Structure 1
Amino acid sequence: MQSLSKRAEIDEKYRWNLESIYATEADWEKDFIAVAESLPGLEAFKGKLGESGKVLFSCLQRQDKLMLQMEQVGVYAHMRRDEDTTNTPYQALYDRAMGLWSQLGAAASFITPEIVELSDEKLADFFKQEPQLELYRFALEQIMKMKQHTRSAEVEEVLAQTWEVMSGPSNIYDMLTDADFKFGTILNEKDEEVEVTHGRYISYLESQNRRVRQDAFKTLYATYAKYSNTLASVYATSVKADIFGAKVRGYKSSLESSLKPLNVPLEVYSNLLETVNKNLPTLHRYLRVRKRMLGLDDLHMYDLYVPLVAQADRKIPYEEAVETVVKGLNRLGETYVREMATGINSRWIDVYETPGKSSGAYSSGSYTTQPFILLNYQNNLDGMYTLAHELGHSMHSFYTNKNQPFPYANYSLFVAEVASITNEALLTDHLLGQTTDSALRMYLINAELEKFRTTLFRQTMFAEFEYETHRRAEEGEALTPDLLNSIYKELNVKYYGAETVVDEEIAYEWSRIPHFYRAFYVYQYSTGISAAAALSKQIIEEGDPAVERYLQFLKSGSSKYPTDLLKMAGVDMTTPRPVQQALDHFADMVDKFEQMSLQTV
């Protein structure tokens, strides 16, 4: 049986450089203690923020200093845990960091309530008294705008103390699915016994051998079905936490509580669902092409990921993927490419899957550190695109941290996926421009179609699931395993059922989506790909002017509301137009792909 290499067996150059944050855990401990011992200094400002602009500025500066240090402590502990989620000392490190985050939140909880108690006139006078307070003008405007949702200092302190408890469902889910779950084994194409893991699952679904695809599919979901009662309870608790947070702050719904602080209109969410639903016939047309090309009488859920152009399927080692991605992003300019390449060589990236390593991929880091990327790299096109995707996140963070003061360095979730998906679009354009081989071109267009299917359509389906589960829970309905399975199965029937056999096992897929523990996050993949489609088109067609607007967007962090940042870059997400334009692009690609497929018959 093929087994994963142990972490110690992986060459250092393929492991991220967490020692650049703390050379030893003793150094981490010093910062941990320093934050803990500094909390009383922040709390000393309690009840005094209305005294003068100087006092308010001093308090905000003290808070920033603590947040900077705490952020570094937290990301180090988080990434150490994710190296091996079965490592109990790292679990303890992470738990301690989360506990300290909660303490810091409680210590700072008086700040927002005291600020919203200031009159507009008094705050304006504070700006005159203390010119340095200008740094926080936009941040303070955001706080004042949320005045009706801010509670008293006492209530805010209690809410801050609940943060660690409220994150419990997500932590339980991670430990259960990453550390405890064992999915069993299947026989691969060579009849060798291989383990089914998070990282390998999609590669099995991409197998040209249908038996392998079906076995992997059934094996994986058998485990999720076995624990469906536990997983439903964990998810239901997470939804209840979302609803509690919304109610206690006076929001009409948990959806509003997620969107309103970012000044994102609720119509952005509803426009997305409505626009995608109107265009489902285009998805169904693509699925008909897929079924015909695979030569199947019935298209099953485990047939959705296999590449349709087998002769163009090839292994892409990590080094080749790096080289291709760097070349593919040349349109963003020499400086961008040079800084990205330097980052890769500075061990930003933890490359390969190892036992106990957290599944999936993400970009992390803090204002005071280099960016970091967790991968579970597989030697295929999807692995290369994941690399490009996460580098988009990291370069966004790199430019934001380099150009914004700390208060505006954390860009919002609404724009978080734009840079990553723009990277993917530019990579596709580069690859298509490098080959005249019809099979490879078909392969790349198929990959682009799959990106839209799995990002714009599938993530919108996820968003619809989140909307429905939160709506039902807000109306008092219990989120039982049967109900969750039913909601998810019906959505799959709507999105895929016209051309696909919706297998019973897919009803459990909701329980393997970790993003559901960050409520109303997934819709931003769909809005992100829509914005990225528009921006990448501008970059390709306009050149330097569009690149300059785009780089300015990357440098802007959270210095403006997210929809305003995108308008500055050239996209208005408050209208359905970008989503429809992206879907029109998908329809055009389906036309091209279908014509090419008929010519090869």
Structure 2
Amino acid sequence: MSIENIPNRKDVPKNLTWDLTTIFKNHAEFEKEFKQVSAMLPQVSNLTGKLKMDSKSLLYVVQTVLRLNRMFEKLYVYAQLSNDIDTSNGSTQTDMDKVETLGTKVNKAQSWFDFEIIELGRQKIAQFIEEQPQLKQYERLFAVILKNEGHVLKPDEEKLLSGAANIFASPEKIFGILDSSDFSFPTVPNEDGKIVKLSNGIYSSLLQSSDREVRKTAFQKFYTVFDQFQHTLAATLSTEVSVNNYQAEVHHFDSAREMAMHENEIPTTVYDTLIKSVNQHLPLLHRYVALRKKILNLSEMHMYDMYVPLAQVPKTNFTFNKGKQIVLDALETMGDDYLKHVQEEFDNRWIDVVENQGKRTGAYSSGMYDTNPYVLLNWQDNLDNIYTLIHETGHSMHSYYSSHNQPYQYGDYSIFVAEIASTTNENILTDYLLENTADPEIKKYILSSYLEGFKGTIFRQTQFAEFENEIHQASQAGKALTADFMNEKYLKLNQKYYGNQIISDPEIKLEWSRIPHFYYDFYVYQYATGFAAASNLATNLTSGNERDLQNYLDYLKSGSSKTPIEIMQLAGVDMMDSSYLDNAFAKFANRLDQLEDLL
């Protein structure tokens, strides 16, 4: 769309917008609830020391703290959704600022809670549950808090660390400012010969150009900036690693990785199994690289050749109504109950569909326990947007089933399992389209997109995870994380992952310096594990086995009532065992065969 064709918010048809009156009927209701939450803050702050008195006091304190959080979350979701549909609206900006400030106060008012639960101890809590049966519904909540026993410092010590939170966050902030504001990127020619100034977005676009000279120039010029600042960026990332290792040490963990994974109740075995399995299957990535080289008819393959689409985008237009029908048809394998709720999403204005002036870009699924899920889209009439719709619908159905089958305290789910439901839906759509599309051009596009997504999610994110773990271990052992050290470490990993069918250009050794995920504290491995798990679940669901469907729905209904590993076992995937990864690689190999046959 040209900017002239993007409508103002008031001109968007009502049926294509969210209905936020299901959260608060009007702004006056929002203001009333805001005042109630504000009034609760002193009450919650003054509960310090009360939960240890007796079982009735513990029950009262837990219920009061949860009520505060529940009310605040509703305020936050309403303010966020109201603001995101038109970020130029001064009134919604004000509401968002107010709620974010209130959030800081809410956290402060209850900051004592976890420590006092740990101080009360397992034995006393068990005794109180025996005396007060209503406390049993919070048993899992207590267990999640008590897992930090031995890792939480005394209140004064934790307060000192909390006071340094902004200092500890400095490496990520510095990198973000450099990356988004201070780097001055050079200009390069695009396919039309027009001179454009590089940015992260334009660089990604130019790497997909069919003109190899455009790709090469963009690649080489882009990395001149990171080459110039490599020592500053090494110092920034080294500081981030030192912060993580320091936090792990003072909280009595063996490593920063163990601390990060402990927070989500994930054993480090899951991480090690992923890296080991991916390394065993690297010949598949080498084969994919060789196929790219052959299709692109290159005598010499370079890193800047890895992002050129292997198939053309289908010219077919897909309206939003057509997209919804394809999603419903693809998801028939999920059963009548699931489809009923997807239809509910489509019919009841849970989706904000089209782009408008001031609307937030991208897509997401939001909501909280007391609201329906809300999906934000910026719909364009293409196949990629159908994938976006079915992806966000996967999140929404996960939230719907969790909140309708669990009490509030377990109505949300771990970040470890969050992307699995959405990616399962994407895999189901791929299976459906391949089965029901006769057009070979569309099949080529779907297969090449799948393989590229697999490469970028399982292979590439595991490469990142392996690098992240190695530099933390090196720093912990006293090794200085200089630019030279990280360049050498990253280049060797890149050569191992992509193999000898491609030249690991000198610039690629600097790739570590531009990846924001290295400031996310052992987060990236979850992209890979989630994608592989979703691949298994989609295969199970499309087989039509009723038991597999029931297992999957049980997973969606579980919220956080069990550990993430237990929930995935319930769904039929054991993430402690490498077989789910083996299955995913087998599907990748099969799709690779199919694309080779088509091309």
Q: 1:519 to 1:313 in 2, by over 3 A?
A: same
Q: 1:294 to 1:327 in 2, by over 3 A?
A: same
Which residue does 1:348 correspond to in 2? 351
Determine what percentage of the aligned residue pairs are the same residue.
Answer: 38
Structure 1 residue identity aligned to 2:351: W
Which residue does 1:520 correspond to in 2? 522
Q: Determine if contact 1:351/1:376 at 8 Å carries over to the other structure.
A: yes
- For the residue of structure 1 that corresponds to 2:543, the secondary structure is helix
Which residue does 1:247 correspond to in 2? 249
Equivalent position to 2:559, from 557, 574, 577? 557
Q: Determine if contact 2:318/2:383 at 8 Å carries over to the other structure.
A: no
Q: Determine if contact 2:242/2:475 at 8 Å carries over to the other structure.
A: yes
Q: What is the Cα deviation at residue 329 of structure 1?
A: 1.9
What per-residue deviation string (whole Å, max 9, x for no partner) do you get for residues 93-115 of structure 1?
A: 76765554444333323222222
What per-residue deviation string (whole Å, max 9, x for no partner) do you get for residues 139-188 of structure 1?
A: 11232333122233333445555556655655665566567778687665
Structure 1 residue identity aligned to 2:148: M
Which residue does 1:448 correspond to in 2? 450
Structure 1 window deviating more from structure 2 (409-418 vs 88-97): it is 88-97
Which residue does 1:133 correspond to in 2? 135
What per-residue deviation string (whole Å, max 9, x for no partner) do you get for residues 414-451 of structure 1?
A: 21121121111100110011123334333322222222
- Report 1:206-355 matches (<5 A): 206-214=208-216, 217=219, 235-310=237-312, 313-314=314-315, 316-317=317-318, 319=320, 320-344=322-346, 346-349=349-352, 352=355
Q: What is the Cα deviation at residue 460 of structure 1?
A: 0.8
Specify every segment of 5 or more residues in structure 2 that has no aligned partner in the other structure, as ranges: none
Structure 2 residue identity aligned to 1:443: Y
Q: 1:133 to 1:77 in 2, by over 3 A?
A: same
Equivalent position to 1:546, from 529, 545, 548? 548
Structure 1 window deviating more from structure 2 (86-95 vs 100-109): it is 86-95
What per-residue deviation string (whole Å, max 9, x for no partner) do you get for residues 84-131 of structure 1?
A: 999999888767655544443333232222222335442222113222
Structure 2 residue identity aligned to 1:39: L
Q: 1:500 to 1:169 in 2, by over 3 A?
A: same
Structure 2 residue identity aligned to 1:518: Y
Equivalent position to 2:417, from 415, 418, 421? 415
Q: Distance in 2 between matches of 1:537 and 1:125?
A: 46
What per-residue deviation string (whole Å, max 9, x for no partner) do you get for residues 453-503 of structure 1?
A: 111111111211221232233334454555544443433222124222334
Structure 1 window deviating more from structure 2 (1-10 vs 404-413): it is 1-10
Q: Distance in 1 between matches of 2:134 and 2:399?
A: 25
- Report 1:195-210 matches (<5 A): 202-210=204-212
Which residue does 1:143 correspond to in 2? 145
Q: Does residue 1:403 correspond to 2:405, yes or no?
A: yes
Q: Determine if contact 1:102/1:161 at 8 Å carries over to the other structure.
A: no
Specify every segment of 5 or more residues in structure 1 that has no aligned partner in the other structure, as ranges: none
Q: Determine if contact 1:5/1:354 at 8 Å carries over to the other structure.
A: no
What per-residue deviation string (whole Å, max 9, x for no partner) do you get for residues 517-551 of structure 1?
A: 33222111111122112211111114332112111
Which residue does 2:120 correspond to in 1? 118
Which residue does 1:108 correspond to in 2? 110
Q: Distance in 2 between matches of 1:166 and 1:20?
A: 40
Q: What is the Cα deviation at residue 229 of structure 1?
A: 6.2
Equivalent position to 1:572, from 564, 571, 574? 574
Q: What is the Cα deviation at residue 191 of structure 1?
A: 5.0
Q: Distance in 2 between matches of 1:572 and 1:59?
A: 37
- For the residue of structure 1 that corresponds to 2:365, the secondary structure is strand
Structure 1 residue identity aligned to 2:422: S
Q: Distance in 1 between matches of 2:552 and 2:484?
A: 46
TM-score, structure 1 length as denominator? Answer: 0.85
Q: Distance in 1 between matches of 2:11 and 2:220?
A: 34
Structure 1 window deviating more from structure 2 (484-493 vs 146-155): it is 484-493
Q: Determine if contact 2:350/2:373 at 8 Å carries over to the other structure.
A: no
Question: What is the RMSD computed on CA atoms of the aligned residues?
Answer: 3.9
Q: Does residue 1:535 correspond to 2:518, yes or no?
A: no
Q: Determine if contact 1:328/1:426 at 8 Å carries over to the other structure.
A: yes
Q: What is the Cα deviation at residue 220 of structure 1?
A: 5.5
Structure 2 residue identity aligned to 1:348: I
Q: What is the Cα deviation at residue 49 of structure 1?
A: 1.5
Structure 1 window deviating more from structure 2 (387-396 vs 197-206): it is 197-206
Q: Distance in 2 between matches of 1:109 and 1:568?
A: 33
Q: Determine if contact 2:9/2:356 at 8 Å carries over to the other structure.
A: no
Q: Distance in 2 between matches of 1:34 and 1:232?
A: 48
Structure 2 residue identity aligned to 1:243: N
- For the residue of structure 2 that corresponds to 1:494, the secondary structure is helix
Structure 1 residue identity aligned to 2:417: V
Q: What is the Cα deviation at residue 231 of structure 1?
A: 5.4
Structure 2 residue identity aligned to 1:590: L
Structure 2 residue identity aligned to 1:104: V
Q: Distance in 2 between matches of 1:550 and 1:447?
A: 26
- For the residue of structure 2 that corresponds to 1:552, the secondary structure is helix
Structure 2 residue identity aligned to 1:327: D
Q: How many residues align?
A: 595
Q: 1:465 to 1:75 in 2, by over 3 A?
A: farther
Q: 1:233 to 1:428 in 2, by over 3 A?
A: same
Q: 1:139 to 1:372 in 2, by over 3 A?
A: same
Which residue does 1:429 correspond to in 2? 431
Which residue does 1:582 correspond to in 2? 584
Q: 1:29 to 1:299 in 2, by over 3 A?
A: farther
Q: What is the Cα deviation at residue 556 of structure 1?
A: 0.7
Q: 1:244 to 1:65 in 2, by over 3 A?
A: farther
Q: Distance in 1 between matches of 2:76 and 2:156?
A: 26
Q: Does residue 1:501 correspond to 2:493, yes or no?
A: no
Q: What is the Cα deviation at residue 569 of structure 1?
A: 1.1
Q: Distance in 1 between matches of 2:86 and 2:170?
A: 19
Structure 2 residue identity aligned to 1:332: M
Q: Determine if contact 1:2/1:193 at 8 Å carries over to the other structure.
A: no
Structure 1 window deviating more from structure 2 (514-523 vs 457-466): it is 514-523
Q: Determine if contact 1:187/1:194 at 8 Å carries over to the other structure.
A: yes
Structure 1 window deviating more from structure 2 (498-507 vs 213-222): it is 213-222
Q: What is the Cα deviation at residue 399 of structure 1?
A: 1.9
- For the residue of structure 2 that corresponds to 1:329, the secondary structure is helix
Q: 1:95 to 1:161 in 2, by over 3 A?
A: farther
Structure 1 residue identity aligned to 2:444: M
Q: Determine if contact 1:102/1:160 at 8 Å carries over to the other structure.
A: no
Structure 1 residue identity aligned to 2:277: T
Q: Distance in 1 between matches of 2:269 and 2:387?
A: 31
Q: Distance in 2 between matches of 1:510 and 1:135?
A: 45
Q: Determine if contact 2:6/2:355 at 8 Å carries over to the other structure.
A: no
Q: What is the Cα deviation at residue 289 of structure 1?
A: 0.9
Q: What is the Cα deviation at residue 586 of structure 1?
A: 1.7
Structure 1 window deviating more from structure 2 (117-126 vs 420-429): it is 117-126
Q: Determine if contact 2:12/2:356 at 8 Å carries over to the other structure.
A: no
TM-score, structure 2 length as denominator? Answer: 0.85
Q: Distance in 1 between matches of 2:22 and 2:512?
A: 37
Q: Distance in 2 between matches of 1:596 and 1:309?
A: 11
